[in-house]
Amino acid sequence: MRPAEVQRITVEEAADRYAELVRAKTVTGALAPSTAEIYTRDVHTFVALAGTGRVLDDLTGEDVDEVLLRFARKPDGRRRAPVPADGSAPLQSAFSQARFRRSVSAFFRHAAVAGWVQLNPMRAVTVTSRQRGGLRPERRALTREQAEGLLGSARALAAAGPEEGRRADQRTELRDALIVLLLATVGPRVSELTRADVEHFFTNDGVRYWRIFGKGGRTRDVPLPRGVAQVLDAYLAERRARAVDTPALLLSWRGRRLARGDVQAVIDRVLARVDPDRRRSVTPHGLRHTTATHLLAAATDMDAVRRVLGHSDLSTLGRYRDELPGELEAAMRAHPLLGGPGAETGGSREA
Give yes or no: 74 in active site: no
Q: How far does Cα 61 stand from its chain's mean position?
A: 29
Backbone angles phi, psi at 251, to 5 degrees: -125, 150
Residue 22 dihedral angles phi and psi, to the nearest 5°: -60, -45
pLDDT in tens, 279-335: 888 888 889 989 988 888 887 888 888 889 888 777 776 766 666 666 555 666 665
Which of 17, 25, 144, 215 is flagged as catalytic?
215
- pLDDT of the residue at 1: 41
Please check whether residue 158 is in contact with residue 178, taking contact to mean a CB–CB distance below 8 angstroms. Answer: yes
Does the active-site annotation cover 189? yes
Total residues belonging to the chain: 351
Dihedral sign (CA 308, 310, 314, 315): negative
Candidate list 101, 189, 289, 294, residue with the active-site label: 189
Secondary structure class of 251 (helix, strand, coil): strand
Low-confidence ranges of the chain (pLDDT < 50): 1-3, 81-88, 134-138, 342-345, 347-351
Question: 215 catalytic, yes or no?
Answer: yes
Catalytic residue among 79, 288, 289, 294: 288
pLDDT at 163: 61
Task: Locate the domains of the chain by residue range.
Answer: 11-132, 144-327
Q: State the angle between helix axes of 94-114 and 33-50 in degrees (0 to 180), rounded to the nearest 10.
A: 80
Q: Looking at residue 253, what is its pLDDT?
A: 78
Closest CA to 285 of 187, 147, 211, 210: 187
Of 37, 46, 82, nearest to 64 by C-alpha is: 46
Widest distance between CA atoms in the chain? 82
Q: DSSP 3-state assignment of 224?
A: coil
- Paired sense of beta strands 207-213 and 219-223, if any: antiparallel
CATH code reported for the domain at 144-327: 1.10.443.10
pTM: 0.62
Q: What is the pLDDT of residue 223?
A: 93
A 10 A CB-CB count for 241 gives 9
Instruction: Identify which of 153, 134, 110 has the alpha carbon closest to the alpha carbon of residue 3.
Output: 110
CB 125 within 8 A of CB 65: yes
Q: What is the pLDDT of residue 259?
A: 86
pLDDT tens per residue across span 125-159:
776 655 555 434 445 788 889 999 999 999 999 98
Is 294 tagged catalytic? Answer: no
Cα–Cα distances (Å) from 99 to 68, 191, 255, 347, in that order, read 11, 15, 31, 47
